[in-house]
Structure 1
Amino acid sequence: MTDPLTNPLTVPDSDRRYVWVFAVDLPENDLRAFGHEDHTDDDNVHWPLGDALGLSPYPDQDFVELFDLDTIQDFGFSRYLSEANGMDIGEDAAKLDALRGGVALVFSQALKGGQTRFAPKAPLSFIGRYALPVDLPTHEKLTSTSAEGLLPQGKPVKSDARIGGMVATFVLIFLALFVTLFVWISG
């Protein structure tokens, strides 16, 4: 069994956000047809990009992007992944910016149908898998004197006022019962 963390074509079973990047070796004019889903009369679906990804069932098209890199040439593909999508591209910026032609992006949100592994076929070439960085929250040290505190040491000692109140309550209850008893006997 392959480790989903070391094999980039395996779909990890986690809530972490990933994107799989594939180069598409097709002319720009053929990209639209390659990404278009056709429905047949017998309710079958034919999606060339879905077939080429080697996934069953097909991923959710709402989270799959297919475009020519010339459309974002001024912005840059590495910036598109890292800044616009928040992905950690590591040291792959130069590699990603050197790509030309069509590219397919499959985000992990598209893979909710039990898919476990990509098996890309021509015209796709796997480029890499990138993940949203895990940011652990940092906490500043508390410096106020109230933050120093002590751990609770059990029940606090009863104060004199509290003990006096408890005795007075007991005496009043006793007197009430005593008076009730006398009224009942005399009556």
Structure 2
Amino acid sequence: MTQLEIPKGEIGQIRLFAVNRPIDKLARDLRDGSKEALIADLLGRSVPEGSAELFPVSDLTGVGLARYLNDGYAVPPDQISRDRARLDALDGYVLLLFSSAFEGQETTLKLGPDLTMIGTYGETQPDMSVIPLEAESAQPYTGAADMTPKSPPKGGAGGMMVLLAVIVLIGLILWWLL
């Protein structure tokens, strides 16, 4: 039994497994049951919906698994190139397991004979660098502090609104009674 250690807080990783069950048996299991139940059976644990993908490689005819990972999941080509021969040789079913399956928790995944680990691939992360703001107005505490609070408007405007609301309310009551 192979063990995989998933670190706490992992994001953006895709684990690819070859499924070592007969294709016709898997197709029958998928037809007769749910995909989520079959994924849970293969992994020995349930995972949140959408955090794993199980499909036959033949579904990618014309595209290929390598291009699917690159185009569909933004896996950089240099990561794919190291395993391209293995990816091209795969047939039958494969399982993609995303970091979201572990919900940020440190996990030990125990793999049985039904799964063979092919590789772990990192999705391209967006550039999160920040351009420094150098304008004077962007600097902290550059505005003139106004320490006096705004005073409410003076005059009868507030009283007039209350009087108008009372008149409307009386009018509605009279209309309802008649």
Question: Relative contact order (alpha carbons < 8 A, sep ≥ 6): 1 or 2 greater?
Answer: 2
Provide the aligned length of Structure 1 versus Structure 2.
132
TM-score relative to the length of structure 1: 0.56
1:78 to 61, 66, 77: 66
Identity level (%):
28
Q: CA deviation at 1:141?
A: 11
1:24 to 15, 19, 29: 19
Distance verdict in 2 for CA 1:126–1:15, change over 3 Å:
closer
Please say if residues 31 and 66 of structure 1, whose CA atoms lie closer than 8 Å, have aligned partners that are also in contact.
Answer: no
* Distance across 1 between alignment mates of 2:42 and 2:103: 18
- Map 1:80-159 → 2, pairs under 5 A: 80-88=68-76, 90=79, 91-112=82-103, 114=105, 116-136=107-127
Distance verdict in 2 for CA 1:72–1:126, change over 3 Å:
same
* Distance across 1 between alignment mates of 2:116 and 2:26: 15
Please say if residues 7 and 107 of structure 2, whose CA atoms lie closer than 8 Å, have aligned partners that are also in contact.
Answer: yes
Is 1:66–2:61 an aligned residue pair? no
* Distance across 2 between alignment mates of 1:88 and 1:109: 19
* Distance across 2 between alignment mates of 1:105 and 1:127: 10
Please say if residues 22 and 127 of structure 1, whose CA atoms lie closer than 8 Å, have aligned partners that are also in contact.
Answer: yes
* Distance across 2 between alignment mates of 1:33 and 1:62: 21
Please say if residues 17 and 118 of structure 2, whose CA atoms lie closer than 8 Å, have aligned partners that are also in contact.
Answer: yes
Higher-Rg structure is 1
* Distance across 2 between alignment mates of 1:22 and 1:115: 20
Deviates more, 1:85-94 or 1:69-78: 85-94
Q: For structure 2, which runs of at least 5 residues remain unmatched after alignment?
A: 140-178
